[in-house]
Structure 1
Amino acid sequence: MIEAYYQQLIKYYKGYLRDIISGKPFTVVVLRGEKSKPATTVELHRAIALFRQNEKTAQRRGWTIAWEDWSSKKLGKQKWVSTIIVDTEEDYLDLLQKEEEAAAFKSQLQILLDWQPAIQPFLMDKPERVLDLKTVWNDLQKVVDHLLAHDVSDHYIRSIPVPVHTKFIEAYRPILFSLLKAIAPEKYSGSSTTLDELLSLKQKPHLYPIRWLDRTIAEQFMYGMEVTGVTVDWLKQISWDIKEVWLVENETNLYLIPERKNAIAIFSKGKAMYSLKDVPLLTKAKLFYWGDLDEEGYKMLNAMHGYYPNNLQSVFMDETTLLQHSGEMGKQDAVYKTTSLEHLTREEQAAFNILKYHNGRLEQERIRQDYVVEVLGKIL
């Protein structure tokens, strides 16, 4: 088959599958004729032979060709292809050699519609799902049936008692989310954007590593453990009388801070910092924030200034630190888009402006250790 015509036929295929799902009869396919005509008799005969290879006859399926008269100064009066028409579904599938695939599609589709007629819009959106998910449809049906019949809000995603392996629901989160929304829109009518939200599943708590910078209070509160992990809910409940809290965005830095009296350090693991809002312990203590010297780091610093406007200061995020290490500054992958960080101090804003101008970033690991020791030693 001529490749250009095969590609035209393929473009109709998804629409053909949608028609099957919706129950519409086959739509006749009309293909565009060739605009450029042969220049020689040899080319003309070769082209016509190619068209006739797939022409429908009494003995075989194929397309129907509409011919038009064509007068050429060089070739004289000739016939040329005007339009190619595919009249029937059988002809269409034969041309694409998709008879078996279409039969499998219809068979699987009927199984799914018999199971849940409301699944039709889900399949119409992406008809390829019918066969792409063929090997897992049985398990998907089991999971959906269970979720529709049971409240699972007291479970974590991998503890839901369904007859599939524990990673199955995790692997097919988006598919299950869309299926449930399509099948039971009245039950799942909220603004949830994930399966976990849709089912109100319990979430694995985020643990913030804490290092005690004062061994005395480590003995007092944690039986001498220097490092432990806590949840933000637990942090909000405790009433320790802590003088200093160091918030760091790099785990290595958690262990670079020297011992300090009545102080702890918390590794906030990037954007998890945003959860550390309205924590009484952080409201009462003096806060030091040591983040990444890039766009995201200063956005988080700005947010923390907004959360704790009266007791937070940054370390190693000022203009002096940046200029001292200008030779180590690299490029941020994405272009800076942030235009306003209203809570930054003048020194922090100056550093951010330099970084934004150069689309730069300074990795915390590239700050000299002797400089770190010197600056930390001056903080009383």
Structure 2
Amino acid sequence: MLTPADARESARAKLLRSHRSWTVGERPDPAFSCGLRPPTEQAVLADLPRAQAWVRQWREAALPEDIEVQWQERTWRSVGRQQIPVRLTAHTVEAVAAWVGGAPAREQRVFAQRVATVRRHAERWARSAAAHGAPSSPHLPDDGAAAREASPDDAVTPVLRRHAQRLTDLDEADFRAVVEVLDWLQEHPVAGMRPRQLPIRGVDSKWFGRHRSLLEALAAPFRPSASDPVVVSARGVLGVVDSHALVRLRILDPALRPAGIRDMDVPVEQASEWAVTPEHVLIVENSETLLCLPDAAGTIAVWGHGHDTTPASLPWLSEADLTYWGDLDSQGFAILHRYRARLPQLRTVLMDVETLEQFKDLWVAEPTPFRGSLSTLTSAEVRALERLRTAGDVRLEQERIPWSYALAALTSRLRLLP
């Protein structure tokens, strides 16, 4: 038998779990419903006082408007005709919040208010974008696909979903500042400035750094540059120069080294402007592997750095022969897929079934396997991925492969120098 306290706790858990999706998406009706698990005749006979107390609890329960309890008549031979509560239904999110109360209700109220505020301002941002020469309707980047026309509400809804908790957790002063700064940025160009140079009163570089990702996410649907991967990688959709957007390079051919420098951490924008034409580029996912690579003719090595596929935006990669060497696990193939979607000529090395089976004793469990679709993989890569999965979601990390074995495989791709 579910008591009012039990049902309220269940509603509390549902509110915490679902109020954000309810607020930014379709509002369900009912927002919450649960069966009350009424007793059987045998259970009533076994403990009549308990059953009577349970019914009394529901008769006396103080429920907000829009929450109702459904009662049914039960006729039992031993105890006669009885009215029994069987189901509780809350028709609105607000009714659930009013009943639950406390921190969950406050969180729901704050998020709903902030969503409404962002959507009001999104109309202004869309008008400002149109006035400054951006498309008349905001656009929504979709993993490199062509932008879709959308209303301001539709454009910001995915952002509100992704950043729901962050929007909720901001204190009121920071939330107001985020919205006001976005209002200002829609009217004033800041492309090429560093955070320290932003002429926004009260906004220093530390505040901008803490809130930059949220500002850029909310601004992206109203910025034409959001669909340009080179611009986004280098400066973000706001155009503010990111002091941390670096790409790490190891120049394997001495003839290509600027001033004899072998290893460089370079701002991606500067690396994009470098007038270099390597014959071959090797992307590796392990920084120690990068530093161990020997000299090779016409070759530059790049540190891939996980799912951050910023190096794919470097224009001089497009004409080079490309090789990718990542971890032999599902995440490694997911990263490969992201690179190959932008660099279709990319080939792999040491990411095949043969390498996987050669070092079976070095397998470990993959903590968070990737389950999505990877349409750019070759048949050989698909076989390797399937073997990883059928073996129980295992992985063979790049750095566990003996260096002598790895170097022999790389020699077949690179023209090593003596």
For the superposition of Structure 1 and Structure 2, which TM-score range results when normalised by the shorter chain? 0.5 to 0.7
Say if 1:166 and 1:93 are closer, same or farther in 2 by CA, change over 3 A.
Answer: same
Task: Name the residue aligned to 1:154.
Answer: 192
Where do 1:109-128 residues align within 5 Å? Answer: 109=113, 117-118=120-121
Task: Name the residue aligned to 2:205.
Answer: 166
Whether 1:355 and 2:384 are equivalent positions in the alignment is: yes
- 2:282–2:322 Cα contact (<8 Å) kept: yes
Task: Name the residue aligned to 1:3.
Answer: 5
**Code of the aligned partner of 1:152:** V
Where do 1:223-372 residues align within 5 Å? Answer: 224-230=260-266, 231=268, 234=271, 237-238=274-275, 247-249=282-284, 250-259=286-295, 265-270=300-305, 271-278=309-316, 289=323, 291-292=325-326, 294=328, 296=333, 307=345, 317=350, 322=355, 325-327=358-360, 330=363, 333=366, 334=369, 338=374, 352=381, 355-356=384-385, 358-359=387-388, 362-371=396-405
CA distance in 1, matches of 2:122, 2:215: 12
In structure 2, runs of 5+ residues without a counterpart are: 25-29, 124-152, 389-393
Query: After the TM superposition, which of the residue ranges 34-43 and 369-378 deviates more from structure 2?
Result: 369-378
Where do 1:25-64 residues align within 5 Å? Answer: 35-36=38-39, 39-40=44-45, 41-54=48-61
Give CA-to-partner distance per residue, 1:21-55, whole Å, 9 cap, x none: 9xxxxx9x999776445613323431233234435
Say if 1:365 and 1:151 are closer, same or farther in 2 by CA, change over 3 A.
Answer: same
- 2:327–2:351 Cα contact (<8 Å) kept: no
> TM-score, normalised on structure 2?
0.53
**Code of the aligned partner of 2:44:** A
- Deviation (angstroms), 1:81: 4.5
- 1:209–1:266 Cα contact (<8 Å) kept: yes
> TM-score, normalised on structure 1?
0.57
Number of equivalences: 341
Please give the secondary structure, in 1, of the residue aligned with 2:251.
strand
Whose radius of gyration is greater, 1 or 2?
Answer: 1
Match of 1:210 among 246, 250, 263: 250
Query: After the TM superposition, which of the residue ranges 170-179 and 141-150 deviates more from structure 2?
Result: 170-179
Please give the secondary structure, in 1, of the residue aligned with 2:246.
coil
- Deviation (angstroms), 1:192: 3.8
> Identity over the aligned pairs, expressed in percent?
13
- 2:33–2:87 Cα contact (<8 Å) kept: yes
- Deviation (angstroms), 1:172: 3.9
- 1:105–1:130 Cα contact (<8 Å) kept: no
Say if 1:268 and 1:77 are closer, same or farther in 2 by CA, change over 3 A.
Answer: closer
**Code of the aligned partner of 1:73:** R
CA distance in 2, matches of 1:85, 1:358: 48
